[in-house]
Chains A and B, each alone.
Chain A
C-alpha cells in the first residue's frame, strides 16, 4: 500500500471527521492533475483534534521544511492554536486545512461532498464545484493553471450523467 493510502487509511480508521480536498479529490473524480500532497479539510473540534493526532502521530508529523531529526512536535495543541498546516510525515506530505478560501470549513464542504469507496478506505471527497471555487478564490498561478481542466472535467461529467446527450 502506498504512503498516501496508508495516511488516508489511518485518518479514516481513527473515525476523524475530514474530507479529501485539493488535487487528490480532483484525481479521484477523473482529473489528470498530479500532486505529492494529500490535502484534507478537518472539523475544528477538540474531539476531532485528538482523533487526527492519534491517527498521524506514528508517522512523525512535523511542519514541512523542518528536518525529521529536529524536535518540532505537532500535537492537539498545535491544531487548536492554528488553522491550516503543511506537514511532512514519514509516509508523505499532508496538508491539514481548517478553512479553505472561497468555500469555508468542514461543514460547508461536507454539504455537497461525495462518500467514495477507495478500496481500503471509504471517505468523504470534496465536490468538483468546491475544488473549483477554492482554486478560483486562492487565485495563485498554480491554482489558475488547473482551472481549465477542472471546468472541462465538470462539463464532461455533466454530459456523462446525461448519457452524453444534449
Chain B
C-alpha cells in the first residue's frame, strides 16, 4: 500500500460518507484503524498471528482445567 493510498484510507475511516458501510461500522464501535493496520500485513502474517492467539487460548483453557481438577 502506498503512503498516498494509506492516507486516503485513513481519511475514509476518520470521515466516512454518511450511511456508508464504514460509517455504520464506526457507529457500531468497530476499531477501523486496526483494520488499516492489518491491511499492511501479508495474508500469511495475519493468519499466523491469529493462529498463535488461538494456541494461546487453548493453552490457557488447558491450564484452567488442570487447576480446577
Which one of A29, A35, A148, A152 has the greatest number of beta carbons of chain B within 10 Å? A152
Question: Which residues from chain A contact B1 at a C-beta distance below 8 Å?
Answer: 160
Number of residue pairs A-B, CB distance < 8 angstroms: 113
Contact of A3 among B20, B27, B36, B51 (CB under 8 A): B51
Q: Do A4 and B51 have beta carbons less than 8 Å apart?
A: yes
Q: Does B8 contact A (CB under 8 A)?
A: yes
Interface size class for chain A? 20 to 34
Q: Which of A48-56, A76-84, A98-106, A114-122 contacts B (4 or more CB under 8 A)?
A: A114-122
Interface size class for chain B? 35 or more
Main secondary structure of the interface of B (DSSP, over half): helix
Q: Do A28 and B58 have beta carbons less than 8 Å apart?
A: no
**8 A Cβ contacts from A2-43 to B:** 2-5, 24, 27-32, 34-36
Chain B residues with CB under 8 Å of chain A are 1-2, 4-9, 12-13, 20-22, 24-28, 30-32, 34-36, 38-39, 43-44, 46-48, 50-55, 57-58
